[in-house]
Structure 1
Amino acid sequence: MNGPALQERPASSASWRIALPHSAAAVPVARALVRTALAELEHGADSDTAELLTAELVANAVEHTAGESPIELVVELLPTGCQVEVHDPDPAPPGNLTRPDGQAPDPWQEHGRGLLLIRALSSSCGHRPTESGKAVWFRLPVVPPQWNPA
């Protein structure tokens, strides 16, 4: 009689850091990097959610920062989950990321839901100053493996 097949999770951390162009082209590249990082290590964080939230962070960095300085994506995989950071050259904090403003997004506007998604779908999120601007980040936990009877 066989028990459930459980995949081993990474016992140590792994990280990736990549410079992205300060343009909309950075969004699909960032999504692909996160997808690849989570798939290659068979990491247990929710890849779809990680891709969505990464796309939101990168799109915000492109849209709300001036200049042509590259944006940097940092993906860190830990035994307990993953953390994704997006570094940009603007030191100003990202609007209402950690403190909602109490207003619902306008249903007729295309924008205004990214930070709400990040707050709602991540286990934690925030921002911090860096030497060249700021880093905005989110964390996702490892999703426990599901029992799959053979």
Structure 2
Amino acid sequence: MWNGPRALYELTGLPTWRVELPHTAAAVPVARSLVRTALAELEHGADCDTAELLTAELVANAVEHSSGDAPIELVVEVLPTGCQVEVHDRNPEPPGDMSFPGPAEEPDPWLEHGRGLLLIRTLSLSCGHRPTDSGKAVWFTLPAIPQQRHPTA
């Protein structure tokens, strides 16, 4: 059951969006849209394209690597220094090595899978995972970027 997005204001007064997504591939475009909407409303947002790409990777991994039909939760938290995106699923197993890989750990360029965590490690400011009461949360942070000023004509 999908409950739609809810913008919350945590103790910091900064907005946090939480949404339950269906445990299907349809969750990926919904998550991308929510992240773009959340970051577009910020004065100093993060890079929306990167946030969308990394969110899509986390959600796709959650759908692929967790079983059952329990929803996946997407959390987008605005921070004074940027944003943090978390994806919660019911699988307690860690997602893989979230630290930076060595040369021997690079994915095979001929395989379809295996680049998601590499993208997250490479393009985010920081990333990781943590256990939750119902499984795990995998997260990344992106730094804030100032809005571009457009010259007046």
Q: TM-score range by the shorter chain?
A: 0.7 to 0.9
Provide, for residues 11-60 of structure 1, a one-character-per-residue CA deviation record: whole Å limited to 9, x for no partner. 94100100001110000000000001011234421000000000000000
Structure 1 contact 74–84 (Cα < 8 Å) conserved? yes
Identity among equivalent pairs (%):
74
Question: Superposition pairs for residues 17-96 of structure 1, below 5 Å?
Answer: 17-96=18-97
Deviation per CA, 1:64-123: give whole Å up to 9, x if none: 111111100000012210000000001111112225363221111111000000000000
- Contiguous gaps of at least 5 residues in structure 1: 1-10
Contact 2:83 2:143 survives alignment (8 Å): yes
Mapped to 2, the partners of 1:140 and 1:26 lie a distance apart of 21
Distance 1:43 1:55 in 2: 22
| Pairs aligned (count) | 140
Higher relative contact order (CA 8 A, sep 6+): 1
Higher-Rg structure is: 1
1:16 aligned residue: 17
Q: CA deviation at 1:146?
A: 4.4
Q: Tell me which moved more, 115-124 or 136-145.
A: 136-145
Gaps of 5+ in 2: 1-11
The aligned amino acid for 2:98 is L
Write the distance in 2 (CA, Å) between the matches of 1:99 and 1:149.
40
Q: 3-state SS of the aligned residue for 2:128?
A: strand
